[in-house]
């Protein structure tokens, strides 16, 4: 393994030494690698951090004092987190005998100062043109190899003054100019292994078919070239023997992303808005789920069922989830204070969701926690990930009669999810009896002190709606209104021309942020949303079903 910020031999390269800048994975700045040989100075990526660049320049100045020699910067691709300092730092640009080399499309994007192709617009960074970038893999010295799967791999070999050869491979997919670079046993792979990650897939230049082929190219390189260690653009270096399994996972992830959308400024802003709502709603939902489990455990302990109580407490890793949400909340505060970029906040939300999903087994809670609540928690996580990947889903819309659907919803939220008959029938079966007992002990009637008034007089046309999602979200609105202090909630069906809708009115005005959240959730159920005249209610309009 390479030692961070120390000179050490490049494995398999005579007389070459490497000084790696290995960072924790961070979308705002890449790793950088400085290499010295008796005949040249090589740099693989500079990153975007000014402090990192200052340290690179200090080292380069020292090397040039020892012996003047040419300097070449190789860019694994043109995204700004890998090259911003090369663009912006005048001292770097003024280095004597400096050359900059990148894949052909990346070279053109850098020379044009293209904020989209460099992904600088996602970061909120300004980039100017970077002139005189040499295009790699574009000349007659580029050879085309065929992999074992019949995929073409373009390779360029560049002789160094030290006698070693530096080899460049075209590995598009993350971007069209993405390259891998090999010197001795070190293979610099840029962002290859992260290319299918949420918030990365779909960024400027992303190409799923090319990425799938590049997985095959990378396998060929590892199998046929003398690679001992892979040096990524973010995070620690990886022994070559461990990379094939990572490529298998990349391949599987990439194959699921055929419909991924472009991650541009518009999607970033949509994801940013969604991430802010996610934090607020996740705290509400997981607190509610945890509250039910704690109440159940307390009641079981009162009955002397200590072991059973612990079992239900262990069903949800509440402390871990609370920790993830607290960390996210702190990150949100840093973002609000201007200490974090928008893309960092969005990707932090992705990280938190992935951690929660690993500790939230909703299927094990079905007999303890209301199914509607569990479905809302699950959708909260999956809906955000669909936003990140750019999937435009409108729900499972189907024709439905609104009147019986709302009557059934009111009945469901007004009555406990168990019956005395089932309790009596389970008396002779210990397991069934325990399950029925747990259902009763876990039941928390949130609308117990709320009067639900339903006005559904008249006839209403069939509507297009995702029944389950719509009903769950209305139940969530009722719970929110009750928690805000409403003691009477009115539900009224209304006809609007050839369409129909549902008016839900409480007594406390709905905040703009909450309204935004409702608009997103009900939109996926097929309903457009407006706020009622007194500001304390919602009108949910559904499209008529085709006749």
Contact 57, 41 (CB under 8 A): no
In DSSP terms, 500 is beta-bridged to 495, 542
C-alpha gyration radius of the chain: 29
Burial group, residue 222, by CB count within 10 angstroms (0-12, 13-18, 19+): middle
Q: What local confidence, expressed as pLDDT, does residue 443 receive?
A: 64
Q: How many CB atoms lie within 10 A of CB 410?
A: 19
- The rounded distance, in Å, linking the Cα atoms of 492 and 538 is 11
- Helices (H) and strands (E) counted in the chain, each on its own, are 17, 21
Q: What local confidence, expressed as pLDDT, does residue 531 receive?
A: 82
Q: What local confidence, expressed as pLDDT, does residue 426 receive?
A: 63
Record the tokens describing residue 226, joined without a space: 């003398």
Q: Residue 41: which H helix or E strand, with range?
A: strand 41-44
Task: Encode the chain (547 residues) as per-residue pLDDT tens digits.
Answer: 899 999 999 999 988 999 999 999 989 999 999 999 999 999 999 999 999 999 999 999 999 999 999 999 999 999 999 999 999 999 999 999 999 999 999 999 999 999 999 999 999 999 999 999 999 998 778 999 999 889 999 999 999 998 999 999 999 999 999 999 999 999 999 999 999 999 999 998 999 999 999 999 999 999 999 999 999 999 999 999 999 999 999 999 999 999 899 999 999 999 999 998 888 888 888 888 888 788 888 888 888 878 878 877 777 777 888 899 999 999 999 999 999 999 999 999 999 999 988 888 766 777 777 778 888 888 889 999 999 998 866 568 999 999 999 999 999 888 776 666 665 666 667 766 666 666 666 666 778 889 999 999 888 999 999 999 999 999 999 989 998 899 999 999 999 888 899 999 998 898 888 888 899 899 999 999 988 777 889 999 999 998 7
Q: What is the DSSP letter of 504?
A: E
Contact 461, 497 (CB under 8 A): no
Distances (CA, A) of 461 to 259, 528, 546: 34, 17, 10
């Amino acid at each position: 393994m390479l030692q961070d910020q120390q000179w050490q031999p490049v494995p398999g390269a005579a007389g070459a030494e490497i000084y790696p800048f290995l960072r924790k994975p961070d979308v705002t700045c890449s790793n950088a690698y400085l290499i010295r040989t008796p005949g040249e100075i090589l740099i693989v990526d500079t990153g975007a951090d000014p402090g990192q660049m200052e340290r690179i320049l200090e080292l380069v100045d020292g090397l040039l004092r020892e012996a003047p020699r040419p300097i070449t910067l190789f860019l694994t691709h043109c995204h700004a987190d890998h090259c911003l300092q090369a663009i912006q730092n005048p001292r770097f640009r003024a280095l004597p005998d400096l050359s900059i080399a990148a894949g052909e499309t990346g070279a053109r994007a850098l020379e044009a100062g293209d904020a989209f192709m460099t992904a600088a617009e996602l970061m909120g960074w300004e980039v100017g043109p970077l002139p005189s970038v040499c295009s790699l893999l574009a000349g007659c010295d580029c050879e085309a190899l065929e992999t074992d799967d019949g995929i073409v791999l373009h390779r360029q070999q560049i002789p160094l003054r030290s006698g070693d050869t530096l080899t460049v491979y075209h590995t598009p997919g993350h971007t069209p100019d993405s390259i891998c670079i090999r010197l001795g046993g070190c293979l610099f792979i840029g962002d290859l292994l992260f290319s299918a990650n949420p918030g990365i897939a779909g960024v400027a230049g992303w190409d799923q078919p090319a990425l799938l082929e590049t997985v095959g190219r990378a396998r060929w390189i590892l199998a046929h070239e003398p690679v001992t260690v892979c040096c990524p653009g973010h995070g620690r270096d990886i022994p070559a023997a461990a990379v094939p399994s990572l490529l298998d996972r990349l391949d599987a992830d990439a194959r699921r992303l055929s419909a991924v959308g472009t991650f541009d400024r518009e999607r970033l802003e949509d994801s940013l808005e969604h991430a802010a709502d996610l934090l607020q709603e996740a705290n509400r939902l997981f607190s509610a789920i945890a509250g039910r489990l704690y109440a159940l455990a307390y009641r079981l302990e009162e009955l002397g069922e200590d072991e059973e109580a612990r079992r239900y407490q262990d069903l949800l890793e509440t402390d871990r989830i609370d920790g993830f949400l607290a960390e996210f909340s702190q990150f949100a505060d840093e973002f609000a204070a201007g200490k974090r970029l928008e893309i960092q906040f969005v990707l932090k939300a992705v990280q938190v969701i992935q951690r929660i999903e690993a500790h939230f087994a909703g299927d094990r809670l079905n007999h303890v926690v209301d199914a509607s609540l569990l479905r809302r928690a699950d959708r909260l996580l999956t809906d955000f990930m669909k936003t990140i990947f750019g999937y435009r889903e409108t729900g499972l819309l189907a024709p439905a009669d609104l009147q019986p659907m709302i009557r059934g919803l009111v009945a469901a939220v007004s009555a406990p999810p168990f019956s005395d008959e089932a309790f009596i029938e389970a008396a002779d079966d210990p397991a069934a009896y325990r399950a029925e007992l747990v259902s009763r002990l876990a039941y928390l009637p949130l609308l117990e002190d709320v009067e639900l008034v339903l006005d559904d007089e008249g006839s209403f046309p069939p509507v297009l709606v995702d029944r389950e999602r719509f009903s769950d979200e209305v139940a969530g609105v009722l719970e929110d209104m009750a928690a805000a202090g409403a003691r009477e909630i009115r539900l009224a069906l209304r006809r609007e021309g050839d369409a129909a809708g549902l008016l839900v009115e409480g007594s406390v005005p709905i905040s703009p942020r909450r309204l935004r959240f409702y608009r997103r959730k009900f939109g996926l159920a097929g309903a457009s949303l407006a706020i009622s005249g007194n500001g304390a209610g919602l009108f949910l309009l559904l499209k008529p079903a085709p006749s």
